[in-house]
Structure formats: C-alpha cells, structure tokens
Chains A and B, each alone.
Chain A
Amino acid sequence: MSPLIEVRGLRYRYEDGTDALRGIDFTVYPGETVVLLGANGSGKTTFLLHLNGLLQGEGSVRVCGMDVSPRNFREVRSKVGMVFQDADEQLFMPTVLDDVAFGPLNQGFPAEEAAARARSALARVGLGDIEHRAPYHLSAGEKRRAALAGVLAMEPEILVLDEPTTYLDPPAQRNLIGLLVSLPQAKVVATHDVRFAAALATRAVFFDKGRVAKEGKLDEIVELFQWDWGT
C-alpha cells in the first residue's frame, strides 16, 4: 500500500531565524489516524501547515504521490482538508452554507453543484438544519463541525485537524469523536487532549523541539513522556 503522506527530512526556519522544524520524517497510510502530541511550540502546527503547502520548507513533502509545490497546490488542497484551531478564522463567509460551499466553488464546481455538495457535507456532520445561520450565532461545537463540513465538501482523502477540541465542552467533544470515527478518511490530529487522542489514534507521534522524538502506540508515548497528568 502506498502512503498518502510521505515527508522526508523536512526543515523549516522562521523569519526571525529560529529553527521550527529540524528534519522531520513522517508517513501516513490510508485508514490511519495519527495523533501528534508535544508541548506548545514543539512545531506541531508549523508541521501541519506544510501538508498543504501553506508553509514550504526544505526537504520533501509528498501527498497522494504528488510533490507539494505551487503547481500542485490546487490538487493537494483538494486532497488535504485542513481544520484550523480557531473556527472563527475558518468560517469567514456570512452564512454557514456560503462558507461550506466556498471550497467546492474554488474547485470549479458550478454554483448548484457546490451548494448540493455543501448541503450533503452539512448533513454528514449533523448540521443540515442551520445552513442559513450566520457563523457568529453557532456554538463552539457547531462551529467546529461547520468547519469540518467546509473541508468535507471538497471530498478530501486526508483530514488534518489542529487542536480540534479547543473551546469544546465534554458533550461536544464526544460528539466530535463519534463524527471523526465515522469518517473514512485518514486523519492527522494535533492535540493535547489524551482522552480524545485515545479514542481516535491508531498511532501517535511525539514532537519535541522541531523533531519527532518518538512514534508508536499512544499508550507507550503517553507513558514515556508522562504526557497525561491524570494517571
């Protein structure tokens, strides 16, 4: 089976000269859910931004067999659906339906087809009844699911989620876990929430100072780095 994501020797340096990523190797196969753990500033978010070319560093990043480079951005961004930490920044259109249709419209679908895709994505995340609401009036959980619908409408093969449980209360977290488990796509999830990770992860990767310090089973990693304060 060929990998969906294949990253080799990825390095990235911020404009101020700090090394954010110092040689990352990373692979994701179809059907996997890989959880990224690590302290704030360990490079998780910076790494995720390379998966669809929002940041470009040295080394190679391949998605579905394509190099992530400007000439492939269009296809790569259709394959990799990225849900950001701040849902308010992701839901920038005036209504939920407009927002979810934003991706399909950019993929070149005509308005009717885009709206149909948006509606089916909204139904998929359980928000079929709020398409004309303004994003501002949604709860944190609804915002997160609407943001997810926005990328699902593009029918990606990989979902990338950055701290998806931020601002969510426990019921909304459970709801999100159920939803993510039901989605067939491969997933890459950066999170601090070990319970959330345990419910999803098929594999875990620990980031430390811009490097992959360890990868393997979630339990091992949690134990090795004493990442869970609860037990």
Chain B
Amino acid sequence: MHHVVVEQWSRRRSFLHVRDARAKLLVALALLAALATAPASPISAVPFAFLVLTGIAAARLPMASMLRKAAVVLPFSLLFALVEWAAGQPMAGMALLAKSYVSALTVLLLVASTPQPLLLSGMESLGAPRLLVLMAQTLYRYLFVISEQAQHMRLAASCRQGSGARRSRARAFQAAAGALAILFARSYSRAEGIQRAMAARGFTGDFHSLQRRSFNSRDTVFACAGAALAVLAHLVARRP
C-alpha cells in the first residue's frame, strides 16, 4: 500500500527529516509556485528537477522508488500532452508532462520526509482550520484499517460470484450497494467505538495536544534558502 511505505520513509532521519514541517511546507509551496509560473517549456522543469533530486538524495530516500511513485500523474498528463500535441503544440504538451511530474515529485518528497502528524500540525499553525486538521488526522489513521476491510469484502464477493449462477447486472449493482452499506455500518460502529474509547479516557470535547518542537534558526535558514533556490530556479528557467 502506497501510503504505508511513504509513512515509513517519513519516519527516517536525515537533514531534511528533522526540519520543521512548516519550513518544508513553505519551501515546497515556493518550488511548486515557481515551477508553475515558469515558461511552458519542458526545459523549465530541469532546474527544479535538479533541486528535488538533490533533496531526495539529502533525505536519503530510495531514488528509484520515489521516481516510480511520482509517476502516478503521468497517465493524466500524457492524455493532455497528446491533446496539446494534436492541437499542434507539442512543446506545450511536453512541458505539461515534465512540469506535472516534477511537481508530483516535489510533493512526494515533502510527505516522504515529514511524518503526517507533524505535517498536519504544521498546516494548522499556518492557518488550516482545526476541525479540518483533526478530521484529516482521523481519516489518515483509519484509511488502511477500513481499506483492508473493503479488500476482504471484495475478495469474499469475488469468491461468491465464481460459484453461483450468473447474476443479472441489476442484481450485481444492488449487491455492490449492499456491500457499500455493510462497509458503512462497520465504519460507523468503529467510529462509535473510537468515541467510546475517547470518553473512557476523560475526553469531554476539547482536544489538547503535546507541544511540538519549535522553529529553530536552522529551520529559518532552510526556509529562506529553499525559497531563494526556488526563485533562482524560476529565473534560470526564464532565461535559459
């Protein structure tokens, strides 16, 4: 499962991993914005690719797997690159392909070098609504637990389908709806269990959290340097 691997990567230790989540978020946003506003040419992506690849090396993350995982954007980009190509703008298509890939790699580097709770609390201190952050935290925590249930159900359904008589499409559709309802019921009772467990440990409606470490001078230097590099890469892309 993709996010389990990324989760493990995010708990490694490196120069990049120990930086404050807010600093990394800001640098990632600066890189993304600088790349997005660079000219529509595949060459624009080159200085950014250089920075991100350096970052992956600095974070001591597995290069090949990272490059493979970021390729999830390629099918979508490829389709539109073909559209541009058909419209007589092959370079614009290539640019789309290269830039969207490097952007995805940038975001992947951010999440692979920042544990998700720190990333979320970083977002919260940068202004994301608290309710949204708490919700995203629970969503992420139970994503795999519930997906696993869905997979079991899918397996069970495919076992049944093999043996029985061929059902009509409408029946199969209804069966899928039934599976969805059962998945919902299980999720719902799990949520009730969580609420019970929270109440049992004295939760009365106010979330408190442990203090996270604060922004230190190295984080400041990192944020400034990262932003400066993003601008530099943008300028390089503008005047090749």
Closest 6 CB pairs of A and B: A89-B193, A106-B202, A94-B117, A105-B208, A103-B201, A111-B211
Cα A77 to Cα B199 in complex, Å, equals 8
Q: How large is the interface on B (under 10, 10 to 19, 20 to 34, 35 or more residues)?
A: 20 to 34
- Sample of 28 A–B contacts (CB below 8 Å): A54-B196, A77-B200, A77-B201, A84-B193, A86-B190, A86-B193, A92-B197, A93-B137, A94-B115, A94-B116, A94-B120, A94-B137, A95-B117, A97-B210, A98-B117, A98-B210, A102-B201, A102-B203, A103-B201, A111-B209, A111-B210, A114-B208, A134-B7, A134-B11, A134-B141, A136-B4, A154-B201, A154-B202
Within 8 A of B (CB), among A49-97: 49, 52, 54, 74, 77-78, 82, 84, 86, 88-90, 92-95, 97
- A37 on interface, CB distance cutoff 8 Å: no
- B58 on interface, CB distance cutoff 8 Å: no
Within 8 A of B (CB), among A127-152: 132-137, 150-151
Question: Which residue of B is nearest A151, CB measured?
Answer: B201
Given contacts A89-B193, A98-B209, A133-B11, 11 further A-B contacts (CB under 8 A): A54-B196, A74-B202, A77-B200, A88-B142, A89-B196, A94-B117, A94-B120, A95-B115, A95-B117, A114-B210, A136-B4
Question: Which residue of B is nearest A89, CB measured?
Answer: B193
Question: Which residue of B is nearest A134, CB measured?
Answer: B7
Query: Which residues of chain A come closer than 8 Å to B203, judged between CB atoms?
Result: 102, 106
Query: Which residues of chain A come closer than 8 Å to B209, judged between CB atoms?
Result: 98, 105, 111
Cα A90 to Cα B144 in complex, Å, equals 16
Query: Which residues of chain A come closer than 8 Å to B197, judged between CB atoms?
Result: 82, 84, 89-90, 92
A interface SS class: helix
Q: Is the CB of A92 within 8 A of B141?
A: yes
The 8 Å CB contact of B201, one of A49, A115, A135, A150, is A150
Given contacts A94-B141, A135-B141, A136-B4, contact A89 B201 (CB under 8 A): no
Q: Is the CB of B4 within 8 A of A112?
A: no
Cα A192 to Cα B199 in complex, Å, equals 26
Question: What 0/1 readout, one digit per residue, does chain B (214-235) give for beta carbons within 8 Å of chain A?
Answer: 0000000000000000000000
Query: Which residues of chain B come closer than 8 Å to A150, judged between CB atoms?
Result: 201
The 8 Å CB contact of A92, one of B144, B194, B210, is B194
- B173 on interface, CB distance cutoff 8 Å: no
- Smallest distance from the beta carbon of A97 to chain B beta carbons, Å? 7
- A4 on interface, CB distance cutoff 8 Å: no
Query: Which residues of chain A come closer than 8 Å to B190, judged between CB atoms?
Result: 86, 88-89
Q: Is the CB of A89 within 8 A of B194?
A: yes
- Smallest distance from the beta carbon of B179 to chain A beta carbons, Å? 21
Number of interface residues of A (CB under 8 A): 37
- B138 on interface, CB distance cutoff 8 Å: yes
Given contacts A88-B145, A90-B197, contact A105 B210 (CB under 8 A): yes
Query: Which residues of chain A come closer than 8 Å to B199, judged between CB atoms?
Result: 54, 77
- B8 on interface, CB distance cutoff 8 Å: yes
- A101 on interface, CB distance cutoff 8 Å: yes
Query: Which residues of chain B come closer than 8 Å to A82, judged between CB atoms?
Result: 197, 200
Query: Which residues of chain B come closer than 8 Å to A77, judged between CB atoms?
Result: 199-202
Cα A27 to Cα B202 in complex, Å, equals 24
- B140 on interface, CB distance cutoff 8 Å: yes
Query: Which residues of chain B come closer than 8 Å to A137, judged between CB atoms?
Result: 4, 7-8
Query: Which residues of chain A come closer than 8 Å to B151, judged between CB atoms?
Result: none
The 8 Å CB contact of B198, one of A92, A97, A114, A115, is A92
